[in-house]
Chain A
Amino acid sequence: MNAFAEVAAATAFSFLRSGSRPEDYVVAASFMGLSALGIADRNSVAGVVRAYATLKNPELPNVPKLLAGARLVFEDGAPDVVVHPRDRDAWGRLCRLITLGKNRTEKGDCRLNFEDLLQWSEGLLAVVMPPARPGAETRKALEALHEARQGSVWLGADMPRRGDDARRLGALKSLAARIGAPLLATNQPLYHAPDRRPLQDVVTCIRQGLSIEAAGRCWK
């Protein structure tokens, strides 16, 4: 078993953003020997149940620890934050937070502001996920969360291979050091195996309403 834990896996329950099922992730994580796997769908915890069910399968070579949480996506320009509740109460709080967002709009949609997270953040482990070009918004979010919940806040660090990985990581390290929050490595996977990329691309096309040739470079 290796020590890596992936905290921010998006499954098909992040509607039209991923084609991989929670079960697939659990199996892949198991075979890779990951120490833990965190399911974090967009403003939703729906994928968690299936993931738990798969853990029970006796054929799995390793049983990674399962983190059940969500990836909160905000309307007000704040960066995405992946949250995992520590205990039962915190889980309840997360569900209520998501419901709050869903009640604000029609079925399917969810509207959350960063303020909402700050109010409901007790017991939640939070990983701030910086965008392609982290700037003032990322700093403000990290600062606010760190002040409120020091010790349960991390800055997510990924390597998107857009050509500026080293620089980006350097900037994130700088930011994390200034604020005093630790970095947490993540891949933010959208699919569980490389051969699933075509499916991922197709799903993205469906979401954007474009044909595959027209979509150009709009996918990750």
Chain B
Amino acid sequence: MTNGKDRLAEARRSSGASGCVECGRCVAVCPMAEMYTNFSIEMSPRGVIKKTLTGDDVIMDKNIWYCTECNAGTDMCPQGVSCRDLIRALREIAIEEKVVEDIKYCTRCGKPFLSIPVKNFVFDRLEEEPPNVLNLLGLCPVCRREIYMLRNAQVL
């Protein structure tokens, strides 16, 4: 866990989280507010940054898995805090420490590539689509490209 703590400190430093002034601009532009009905301050980038700065148990938190890793909050931040980089780093630590299971693994290569809440959001939106379209969503980007090559570029 010491290694995890070091990495957490590194994540704080590299993303500039300590510069957060809690203005809440990132929350105003965060698309999660539209995506999830249970959107809360704990889930918002501001809440995650606050928790990162105050405690080491942030990687155990479910709320870091809702982010879509967009760049909206970073663009708005007056202090240049990259909430996306922070959440990416937190997720990496969480995966390596094997503390959270909220991650979708590619059905073909078995690598983690997406968080479960984001996947659920997209699947809910596309629930009327046929299953083979939804099967494509279960593939990581690399596998998808390989599938496209296999399916589409067959020239005999």
B partners with A: no
